[in-house]
Amino acid sequence: MGELYLDGVVEDIIYSNGENGYTVCTINCGGEPITLVGIMPYIGEGETIRVQGEWQMHATFGRQFRVDYFEKKLPTTSAAILKYLASGAIKGVGPVTADRIVARFGEDTLDIIENNPRWLCDIRGISPKRADEIHKNYVEQFGMRTVMMFCNEFFGPALSVKIFKAYGSAAIDIIKATPYRLCADIQGIGFEKADRVAMSVGIAVDSPDRADAGVVHTLNVASVNGGHCYLPEAELISASARVLGVKEEVARAAAERLCTVERIKKFDIGEQKAYALAELYSAEVYIAAKLQSLSEFKFPFVLEGLDEQITVLEEKYGISYAPEQREAISYALTGGVTVITGGPGTGKTTVIKAILDICNILKFSCVLAAPTGRAAKRMFESSGKEAKTIHRMLEASISDNGHHHFQRDEENPIAQKVIIIDETSMVDTNLMCALLKAVKSGSYLILIGDPDQLPPVGPGNCLNDIINSHKFNVVRLDKIFRQAEQSLIVVNAHAINRGEMPIINSRDNDFFFVEKNSTEEVKSLLVAFVAERLPKRYDANPLEDIQVISCTRKGVLGTYELNALFQSVLNPKSPKKSEKKYGSVLFREGDKVMQIKNDYDLEWKRGTESGTGVFNGDIGRIIEIDTRAEIMTVDFDGRVTEYDFSQLDELEHAYAVTAHKSQGSEYRIVVIPSFDAPFPLMTRNLLYTAVTRAKDMVVIVGSRRSLSVMVGNDRIPVRHTALKHLLELI
């Protein structure tokens, strides 16, 4: 059965979300009251509307009509106009003012408001300024209606609202003139969608604007999907031509044209030509220059007696620092830029503590930060000193145009003298650039990380590029300390990193392997371990203490399938739990979920404290789904955040996560399925990253052959980054 149309007068607005236009209301449809739900921004009581959609049955509220599209019809009688204005639908007009306006102008009221608003000044209490505001608000409402009607052919109502909020009443003119602006301005609209709009408004296939958009799109996709900061010339031209369906000459001309207007940058890297998005190239240039500047800073004194101070700390803590640890401490306190790397159990935390102790003696102020909330929490637990996310340290906020920015920058730098960043392998080019802009000259910057882990989710490979440039003091801690040697997690992580099979035949340690060669057997045993055996034996909470990490999203043992499986086992359907289907995903109260993109605008509360920003990789629990208000409430380690349903593309289930999404986190118990997957995903650094996420226990279930393939596959996908090259040129 196709969608239906209903016409009626709005009787009551039950709920309205001003941000996304989601509304619950009742209409009088031929004498029958009907409840409507859907995105219907700026409707008011007394308005006549036509809606398109279908009937649905709500578990609590009964039969409703879900609206996919709506349009307003102007009220025509004096009584209907009075009811519409008296409802407060137009800002600046209340019941008393509405009565006065309609009494004066009758059925011409709305025409007066739209075309002759200054006539309203004849009404007692309406000044010229107020008359203009009433006119502006009225026109805006019907501008929204017009934009929604125009966009309905191409986008859903949520995207249409975003477009109107971005462009206002000029949206249609802007889209018709420059449809490819949508790619850059509206989150959720890529080149393909914008291209469909462009074709419909008569943009030619060989239009220069279209070619320009296709080239920029190709570079954006390379950045988002491949982590590239640039593309070689031949690769960019070939890929852009395929996307556009044009000859390479057209794509090449577009690339040159974009360079002329400085939207992209052409440069030499080695003997090849390369193209980069202007902002990414500028970021890499800035990173190289700032790191070099920090490393060249001449400190006004040389710390004397440092070796003696380190010896005092050894006596204080009853330990003996390895030569590499002494070297790391010394470099960190005598140079502008120091990199400290090493795998688990090699004493990175011990080095951080020593640096903090000596800084305390020297009265040097220090700040600790990491890319994710969980990594920052680990820093605090291991060092005893407060640690922040990098975003929080830089005081991320939203600007008036809706884009994020950091309040800490070159004009307002980080106040502390010593800045220690952990899990630096996760820091992408854009974040590294923002961080360095906030580091003032004369600071000590200490970067700690493991270059053998997976590269950042975002573009770039900063830590590896900095190390491989050989421009800075780098200390690799490679000695496993005696206490860590007792842990098979540590021993096996290092074995995997060397390309050696881990020890998998020990059942009485913290790392063990169970061989199963059919995917169904693996699934069954995963459920048994996560839901029953591990919680019972180790007094573990399956949702908080145990994390399943898979190498892929797709397939029987990928995160999509495993999340659905574990949801049914750990958080089964119940009449007491509200649900929301979003796309192919069913969210349920009690679900374990992860934020999958940085959202600087999301507000959260923790007791009396409040703030903004929820970031990629944050894990929380759904505590409420309000289907009437279309709001989902999620608790991220005490930070309670509300999502309207249009934002649910920012969340996914987290019973099982990929190794990339696990970066920066630490879990008490990690369970890893070992199975055949696409070869590029079965890599050593992916397995190494997954194993090193575990604090107390690693359990691997599956094929020994697949495990061996991962250990032996040291293939690392090439990331096109210019940072190493730029550092070498300085």
Whether the pLDDT of residue 58 is over 90: the answer is no
* CA separation for the pair 655, 547 (Å, rounded): 7
Instruction: Look at residue 309 in the predicted model and tell me its pLDDT.
Output: 87
SS (H, E, C) 472-500: CEEEEECCCCHHHHCCHHHHHHHHHHCCC
Instruction: Look at residue 373 in the predicted model and tell me its pLDDT.
Output: 84
Say which residue the tokens 């340690």 belong to. 509
Joined together, the tokens standing for residue 391 give 């975003």
pTM over 0.75: yes
Whether the pLDDT of residue 646 is over 80: the answer is no
| Residue range 273-295: mean pLDDT, rounded | 97
Instruction: Look at residue 187 in the predicted model and tell me its pLDDT.
Output: 76
* CA separation for the pair 355, 353 (Å, rounded): 5
Instruction: Look at residue 484 in the predicted model and tell me its pLDDT.
Output: 64
Instruction: Look at residue 15 in the predicted model and tell me its pLDDT.
Output: 87
CB 643 within 8 A of CB 631: yes
Whether the pLDDT of residue 480 is over 70: the answer is yes
* CA separation for the pair 255, 253 (Å, rounded): 5
CB 7 within 8 A of CB 48: yes
Handedness of CA 555, 559, 560, 561 (dihedral sign): positive
Instruction: Look at residue 676 in the predicted model and tell me its pLDDT.
Output: 92
Q: Which residues pair with 8 in a beta bridge?
A: 49
Instruction: Look at residue 483 in the predicted model and tell me its pLDDT.
Output: 66
Burial (CB < 10 A; 0-12, 13-18, 19+), residue 613, is buried
Instruction: Look at residue 399 in the predicted model and tell me its pLDDT.
Output: 59
Read off φ and ψ for residue 170, nearest 5 degrees: -85, 5
Read off φ and ψ for residue 450, nearest 5 degrees: -120, 105
- How many other C-beta atoms lie within 10 A of the C-beta of residue 375? 22
**Residues of the chain with pLDDT > 90: what percent?**
60
Whether the pLDDT of residue 157 is over 70: the answer is no
Between 345 and 708, the more confident residue is 708
Alpha carbon separation from 170 to 110, 163, 164, 166, 401 (Å, rounded)? 21, 10, 8, 10, 16
DSSP state of 553: S
Tally the residues of the chain: 730
Handedness of CA 114, 120, 125, 127 (dihedral sign): positive
Whether the pLDDT of residue 432 is over 70: the answer is yes
Joined together, the tokens standing for residue 405 give 């920015």
Instruction: Look at residue 22 in the predicted model and tell me its pLDDT.
Output: 86
**What is the DSSP secondary-structure string of 320-367?**
---HHHHHHHHHHTTSSEEEEEE-TTSSHHHHHHHHHHHHHHHT--EE
Which of 180-189, 205-214, 248-257, 600-609 shows the highest mean pLDDT? 248-257
Whether the pLDDT of residue 345 is over 80: the answer is yes
What is the b/e burial string over 532-541, where b = at least 16 CB atoms within 10 angstroms of the residue's CB? eebbeeeebe
Amino acid at 432: M
Whether the pLDDT of residue 367 is over 70: the answer is yes
List of E strands, 572-664: 579-582, 585-588, 592-595, 599-606, 609-614, 619-626, 631-636, 639-644, 651-653, 656-658
Whether the pLDDT of residue 213 is over 70: the answer is yes
| pLDDT digit string, tens, across residues 73-94 | 777 788 888 877 887 767 778 8
Instruction: Look at residue 59 in the predicted model and tell me its pLDDT.
Output: 78
| pLDDT digit string, tens, across residues 371-408 | 988 889 889 998 999 999 999 999 987 655 456 789 99
Enumerate residues 6+ apart whose C-beta is below 8 A from 271. none
Instruction: Look at residue 4 in the predicted model and tell me its pLDDT.
Output: 87
Mean of all residue pLDDT scores within the chain: 90
Joined together, the tokens standing for residue 179 give 């449809």
Enumerate residues 6+ apart whose C-beta is below 8 A from 296. 336
Could you give the angle at which helices 323-332 and 348-362 cross, rounded to 10 degrees?
40
Alpha carbon separation from 1 to 55, 56, 64, 137, 156 (Å, rounded)? 11, 13, 17, 38, 20
Amino acid at 270: G
Lowest mean pLDDT among 160-164, 307-311, 388-392: 160-164
CB 714 within 8 A of CB 684: yes
Long-range contacts of 560-563 (CB under 8 A, 24+ apart): 562/523, 562/526, 562/655, 562/656, 562/673, 563/652, 563/653, 563/654, 563/655, 563/656
Which candidate, 647, 632, 642, places its Cα nearest to that of 596? 647
Whether the pLDDT of residue 2 is over 70: the answer is no
| Residue range 278-307: mean pLDDT, rounded | 88
Instruction: Look at residue 268 in the predicted model and tell me its pLDDT.
Output: 95
Between 584 and 515, the more confident residue is 515
Instruction: Look at residue 281 in the predicted model and tell me its pLDDT.
Output: 98
